[in-house]
Structure 1
């Protein structure tokens, strides 16, 4: 009656009936019905005070239900002869009290009640009762927040379901087990919501002491839970197989194999692989699963193609936008970079629409079976990238680095979180950050094993995906050397034209181009036909242009003397192949500012330019080598005539210059500072240590009509070549280079090293200025001489070059620089003087109109006649010279024919002991007459002894003592005497 009153909604009447029932049960000693009536009275109390729950009500309910549970237990102990087991009612009452008290602040009491109920479940005979009891216990534990206890009893429910051999029970078991995966941290990736993960899970984040802030690493592996987690995943796999859910079975097997492969035997690993394959066979093609299996994939590197590294930002406001983009040093790329305080800062990477790119990833298979990856490609959710799939086979316990490529198809940013893998018949997503967290957990000891280390792979630094942006299509120049891409083999000094072909392999034209040089030995590039490239602009896609580059091989330097002396097995000399010694062509180029069909963009969206590096691979072979160089000279006496001998001068007397029989004769010219004919050679001894034959050609650059002295009478000729000299292999030859006479105009102290003058500051400054000018003139004279001489060689049909003789000539001239460049202190010249007439201006070479004997005009004199003569003495210094002059006449035997006892020449005048003073930079003349008794060839020589010689003259004469006299002798002059004895 009390239960009916409760159903009727009358708790007061129900309480009255329950009180009556309690008295009757107490009198009869029936604990079972007493507990039932007491349980009803609790229900009536709660209904009567509905909405007025307080601590008093809770205490009353707790007290009464404790009595109910006690009386149910007493009835079970007394083995009351009841058809219904009192244990069921006791457990039900326990659950009702636990459900009523289920709050966090009363968790201890609730846990005690649930523990008591769980112990009582062992005595239940019916499996269905135990199943219901475990479901309620799991639910109450979940309400308290004890997820692992709830998961434990949920697994008990699943085991009861699995004991039933039917598909529906297996489905129920699988669903119950799915609810436990979060508590055991083996849940599927699909069940992980974004809100349940901390924000710092993306990327590797470390807290103080190296602890992980996010839970993802711990959720992957926990060594203390490994066995239990494996059991849970195995139960899910079995229930999914029985339930006929191949996708759930595949996901469970994938999580089990990926997370716990170190704890699974090889046989178990093969069984899981078979389970994956069998589940995939029951799935439609192209099925995707959120849980990845194998392999493990990590980002290895971003290899940069030269076309990606050589992208230059273009400033439309500057025509020379490439300025500052080229490296001025010998290195293309520096291995050093500025220190960055933010080590996690990502780099910027630029990709071009339509140009393929590559990324290196490393795959690891730590299991004991062969793994076949049907396809793997980059996963790009932004949609502006086409990835190319590849197939990979991984042996057991191995790793492999593969290249994944693709093509950007649209402008914009590109994100690459991981790879898409088709393996074991299912498509899965492998994220790089998951593997990074896994490897970080392995270093901290939070996970079981590092799959890459156990496959033998080296520890790799964590690589982050850079900030990738895609720019519009750009032109792409591809270079090649016409005739082959091998090294350009040149002998040192060889000059050759190399043709560089440039083709536009891009999809847009090249509208701007600039060519420059970089690297070492830039002076070996003589010329670049950059105008040919500019004239071909715009260079359309697929078009090609060829530009010539003129190269000159530099000097061959061999560091190892043994290598230089030895020969290779083929007999060729050692080559110079030093890395970084070759010049590099830098070609900066760009396309249009806007692509056709694109809307106008702002300044920041202008497509960048590019830089093409064309290394000129030059291999320099050893060529001709210098052995030694020396200066050779020869003096030819001049003929005594009416006029002074004069040098060849095209401007003043072109007819006389052209009268020389050969051009070779024109190189034999009068030395104006000695008054004699002179011939001077530079002898170069060359050695050929190579395997080829060289032909040497010496040419002298002739001066044009604007210079004072000209070697050639042909006004249209600028260079004169001498016969070729052949030098065979392993042979030497001497080459003679004729040198013209050239000297400084004045002999002064600026050339010699002297003490500073003590005449004051002004005098010191003037002297220093004069000294600098004269030394500059001296260096200019040497350089001028060297620049006129060219020594060229030719070997074979197409190999030719030029020898660098600058150092050799300079060394040869330095040994006798005073003899070559400095004038003598005194110049002596002889001439005939007829009828007492004299030349007023002896320094002039102008002809005078006076009558002479025809034989005298030809440089001959008559015997048995008194012949008037003059000796001209010029002072080439800036100081007054006092001297004692003497004149000697010798015959063909070299004997003095004036002062000997058998003199053949008579004279009138003074010929010895003539004391004269010659003013600075002026000349004096002394007259005398000779009477030749015997026709023949005679030689006149003038000499002088200089008194009180200064330091300049002593330095020029190279005297060692200040008391030593200075003797100066003039060149010999020939006198031809005709007639009869």
Structure 2
């Protein structure tokens, strides 16, 4: 060190020519100037305090020059900072951008000087770090506004980094408080909350209750920023926001957080929110504040149960219990804990739903007040009605009501709810509490009840729950928002779904009005309220008892019918119940209703057919029964001004549950295919074909037996048989009588010649078949003249005439079928002295229409292939029917009986038959395809050679005649092939267009035959 000093002195001596005395004399002068500069800085401070910024600025300028000359960095920064303060005070109230830039420039210089002083004067007794941080805070405080928020934020974050160099915890506490306050003034809630948490951590390092209380208060101020605030402090203007300077700001770093329940469950905040609540819980425990600790634990377990382990959940439950032990009994808390509660439904009694307003100017006030649908309490209303909403419900004073809610406990501990009841703030409803035990991870439906006490409106926002020793209010809307957030992916978990509850649509609590006490009628059917079992046509008397279970007498009433099958109610004993009015509370009246079972429809028959034949339907179907609509009302009340007040009336719907059972079941009806000769006696044929004037008995084949002619298209030319299969599933015997009406007359039942229509007895669990011979009737669609007569009158109408002809044809076809069905009557009578007629119209019509296309409507052209060498058709006559005209043809497949050898010329013929009574000109084409569906006749890749003409063959087929077109094929490759012929009819007539259902007169008529499969084998 000494050598270094000597070299240093010699260096100055050689450079400046100074002696040791002169060097020492220069140090003394420098020290005097440093003291003078510091004195000038202190004088400037006093002048500034005295209110003379101009004099202070002059002294500060002198101090700055002396400090710069002597290298006194620390005092240089202080003097420069004083000059800035004097400049700002001198121009107070002026917003000059130049002044702001000057202040920023000088303060950045001051911060740099303090930083250099920190490095050079590290051994000084007072560290300049605090002065540097104070300068940064002063500049941030001066610039604190949203336009320069980025610059202010950088200054504050730099000051926060410098806090690590502060040794005193109190200094760091003050620094963090100021940083949090400035961030709050900028509207940066998250950063303000972060440094507030740093303040709370410093408080918690102190081991005393007052520091813990301060930490708890500071942490409570941060709950809004982290969206874990208590419900009682959830309003936007409270003290914490004002203290943080964010009362006029709703954003944090450009983001807006909605004040909703869903925001409590944001997944990106989950861990941080849990930490904040845990810190509040720990600080409140140390501060001996049991209510705050209970609230923090409740928010933790309710909001973040999916992220907490079972052990942690049990620990929170213990904390809740311990906090409740230190609270007085009956303490209320604004923050709910478990369970989660949602509104499930309102299971109202029908009497509470059907309340009818009475019109004082309308005597028959019940007219138009009944349901508009077929159900007892229909959800549908008429389009013209207004003034009433589906969400409006009336409750009656003194009559208990119920509300069904669903509770969920998604945690791993048993939850005991000491009491839960509906929350009503209107004061006109008495709620009844219940106790509920919820095992871990379970949900339960609970019915909460109560009694309305006063007339007026009632609002039920949620439930009051007493659990873990504290009373809280659970709101339905909060859980609805939670479930909506779960559906949108904003919530950690759905508490009801994780407890095994099914997905449920949220229910809005309706508007409820409480009306005065009303009478209450209860209806009972004597003999039981079950279904009244009646066979078709049976008549029975039913006794109905009405009892007044209310506290008000029934003074007026009216009974009317509604619903379906009203004609099944023959009579109502109105005089009986009218003579019993008024019905006092507890009184009753019994009257008689006479019923008759209706005829079952096709839908009823199908419903019965889906069940076992031995077990017929014994339950009445909903929506098909009649109802007794009983409108009744109590006495009128007098108002204070002399007017009369009419309380509302009520509607009681009494369903007459008639179970109309088919005594005899029609299993099926079908038109028999006459593939074999049918034998009938002369007595069978005479009434059926009597209009054919069969009078020559010598023309009969036999005196008592006739063989009918066979139709090649599965039917007889002169007679058809309709088979009805009947089944008796009941416990009684039915006698069936089938009668056929011919030409407007009825064949007498005692006619011995009518042996085909005699009575048939069917015992229980037995079936029988009844054959009904039908007279011959020719359907219009089979005769070509039918189409001609629709089109021949005016050929210029074109497709419009064809469309009209087709409609007329269908109408005439349906008329013919209806005429035939109307001639058949199937009557029955049973041991119950009741009789009826079997409804067979739909079954017979379905049986006939199902056979029309197969039996009565052949295609215009029929195609078939055969080998020419033996001149034997390749398919028999029973399978020569081709497909219908259209692209769907070709499903029925014909095959060659014997295989064909490859590499040999095979001579074949295609046979085309005209099934109409007109000449058909056409273009015939023949195609061959392999198993892959490729055309084998293509020139480039042909695998089959041919001789003859296969495309665009001009042919003319006479009516009801056949033409044959020969050709030869030579198969090159063994395998399976299919031949198919198709033709385009040239100049198609209106008959063919009507048969093909052509839409326009220019549309080509295409006929395609069934594929003819050939198996080709190789040669040895």
Q: Fold match, TM over 0.5?
A: yes
Q: 1:40 to 1:335 in 2, by over 3 A?
A: closer
Do structure 1's residue 587 and structure 2's residue 630 form an aligned pair? yes
Counterparts of 2:339 and 2:198, CA distance in 1: 34
* Mapped pair 1:37 → 2:79: yes
- Whole-angstrom CA distance in 2 between matches of 1:530 and 1:304: 30
User: Is 2:484 the partner of 1:440?
Assistant: yes
Residue 188 of structure 1 is matched in structure 2 by: 230
Residue of structure 2 equivalent to 1:231: 275
Partners of 1:555 and 1:13 in 2: CA distance: 117
Residues 575 and 179 from structure 1, CA distance in 2 versus in 1: closer, same or farther, beyond 3 angstroms? closer
> How far apart are residue 366 of structure 1 and its match?
1.6
The answer (yes or no) to whether the contact 1:359–1:403 under 8 Å persists in 2 is yes
What do the CA deviations read for 1:286-315 (whole angstroms, capped 9, x no partner)? 222222222222222222321123222322
Provide Cα deviations, 1:367-389, integer angstroms capped at 9, x if missing partner. 22222222222223333322222
Write the deviation string for residues 8-45 of structure 1: whole angstroms up to 9, x where unpaired: 33334444444454455445433223323333333333
Q: TM-score, normalised by structure 1?
A: 0.57
Please show how residues 224-303 of structure 1 align to structure 2 within 5 Å.
224-303=268-347
The structure having more radius of gyration, on CA atoms, is 1
Q: Is the 8 A contact 2:536 2:836 kept in 1?
A: no
Query: 2:431–2:449: 8 Å Cα contact kept in structure 1?
Result: yes
Q: Which moved more, 1:482-491 or 1:29-38?
A: 482-491
Alpha-carbon offset, residue 506 of structure 1: 1.7
| TM-superposed deviation, 1:117 | 0.8
Alignment partner, residue 369 of structure 2: 325
Residues 444 and 559 from structure 1, CA distance in 2 versus in 1: closer, same or farther, beyond 3 angstroms? Answer: closer
Unaligned runs of 5+ in 1: 197-210, 626-687, 694-728, 731-790, 794-800, 808-981
Post-superposition shift, 1:219?
A: 1.6
Residue 127 (structure 1) aligns with = 169
Q: Does 1:69 align with 2:111?
A: yes
Equivalents in 1 of 2:256, 2:576: separation in Å? 63
SS in 1 for 2:281: helix
Instruction: Give 1:136 shift.
Output: 0.7
TM-score by length of 2: 0.55
> Does 2:407 align with 1:363?
yes
Pair 1:607-2:647 in alignment: yes
Task: Tell me: CA distance 1:66–1:792, structure 2 relative to 1, closer, same or farther (3 Å).
Answer: closer
2:452 equivalent to 1:412: no
Alpha carbons 1:589, 1:609 under 8 Å: kept: yes
The 8 Å contact of residues 574 and 622 in structure 1, kept in 2 or not, is answered as: no
Deviation for aligned residue 1:496 = 6.5
2:216 aligned to which of 162, 174, 180: 174
Aligned to 2:205: 163
**Does residue 1:140 correspond to 2:182, yes or no?**
yes
Residue correspondence of structure 1 range 834-853 to structure 2 within 5 A: none
Aligned to 1:49: 91
Query: SS state of the match for residue 399, structure 1?
Result: strand
Which structure 2 residues correspond to residues 518-667 of structure 1 after superposition, within 5 A? Answer: 518-519=562-563, 522=566, 525=569, 527-549=571-593, 583-594=626-637, 606-617=646-657
Alpha-carbon shift at residue 170 of structure 1 (Å)? 0.9
- Cα distance change on mapping 1:26 and 1:492 into 2, 3 Å: closer
* SS across alignment from 1:216: coil
- Aligned mate of 2:195, from 147, 153, 157: 153
1:529-928 matches, cutoff 5 A: 529-549=573-593, 583-594=626-637, 606-617=646-657, 803=834
Aligned residues of 2:538 and 2:835 also touching (Cα < 8 A): no
SS at match of 1:299: strand
Distance 1:529 1:593 in 2: 27
| Residues 1:213 and 1:325: Cα distance change in structure 2 (over 3 Å) | farther
For residue 168 of structure 1, give the secondary structure of its aligned residue in structure 2: helix
Query: Quick check: 2:555–2:583 contact (8 Å CA) kept in 1?
Result: yes
Provide the C-alpha distance between the structure 2 equivalents of 1:792 and 1:38, rounded to a whole number of angstroms.
Answer: 122
Sort the Cα spacing of 1:256 and 1:556 in 2 relative to 1 into closer, same or farther, 3 A.
Answer: closer
Matches of 1:329 and 1:115, distance apart in 2 = 71
1:578 Cα deviation after fit:
5.7
1:218-265 deviation per Cα after TM superposition (whole angstroms, max 9, x unaligned): 522222221111111111111111111222112222222222111111
Q: State the shift of 1:483 in Å.
A: 5.9
Q: Which residue of 1 aligns with 2:125?
A: 83
Q: Is the 8 A contact 2:531 2:619 kept in 1?
A: no
Query: Do the aligned partners of 2:613 and 2:729 also contact (CA within 8 Å) in 1?
Result: no
Query: Would you say the 8 A contact 2:627–2:656 is kept in 1?
Result: yes
Q: Answer yes or no: is the 8 Å Cα contact 2:355–2:648 preserved in 1.
A: yes
User: Which residue of structure 1 aligns with residue 694 of structure 2?
Assistant: none
Question: Gaps (5+ residues) in structure 2?
Answer: 1-41, 239-254, 666-727, 734-762, 765-828, 839-1020
Measure the CA separation in 1 of the matches of 2:257 and 2:178.
Answer: 35
**Residue 472 of structure 1, CA deviation:** 2.1
Distance change (3 Å), C-alpha of 1:444 and 1:624: closer
**Pairwise CA distance, 1:54:** 2.4
Tell me by how many angstroms 1:68 deviates: 2.6
Pair 399,690 (structure 1): closer, same or farther in 2 beyond 3 Å: closer
Residue equivalent to 2:555: 511
Is the 2:372–2:382 contact (alpha carbons within 8 Å) kept by the matching residues of 1?
no
Contact map agreement 1:357 1:407 (CA 8 A) in 2 = yes
Please give the alpha-carbon distance, in whole angstroms, between the structure 1 residues aligned to 2:581 and 2:358: 18
**Following the alignment from structure 1 to structure 2, what is the Cα–Cα distance between the partners of residues 35 and 329?**
91
Query: Against the structure 1 CA distance between its residues 328 and 529, is the aligned structure 2 distance closer, same or farther, given a 3 Å change threshold?
Result: farther
Q: Deviations over 1:939-969 (max 9, x none)?
A: xxxxxxxxxxxxxxxxxxxxxxxxxxxxxxx
- Aligned counterparts of 1:411 and 1:497: Cα–Cα separation in 2: 43
Shift of 1:92: 1.4
* Worse-superposed segment, 554-563 or 126-135: 554-563
Using the alignment, how far apart are the partners of 1:806 and 1:234 within structure 2?
82
- Once residues 398 and 9 of structure 1 are traced to their aligned partners in structure 2, the CA distance between those partners, rounded to angstroms, is 74
SS at match of 2:393: strand
Alpha carbons of structure 1 residues 486 and 94: separation in structure 2 relative to 1, 3 Å? closer
Query: How far apart are residue 481 of structure 1 and its match?
Result: 3.9
Secondary structure in 1 matching 2:457: strand
**Distance in 2 separating the partners of 1:75 and 1:109:** 24
1:507/1:133 CA distance change after superposition, 3 Å: same
**Counterpart of 2:775?**
none
1: CA distance, partners of 2:479 / 2:612: 59
| In 1: Cα distance, 2:170 partner to 2:68 partner | 33
Deviation at 1:267, TM superposition (A): 1.3
Q: What number of residue pairs does the alignment pair up? A: 625
List per-residue Cα deviations over 1:657-685 (Å, max 9, x = no partner): xxxxxxxxxxxxxxxxxxxxxxxxxxxxx
Contact 1:266 1:368 in 2 (8 A): yes
Q: In structure 2, the residue corresponding to 1:355 is in which secondary structure?
A: coil
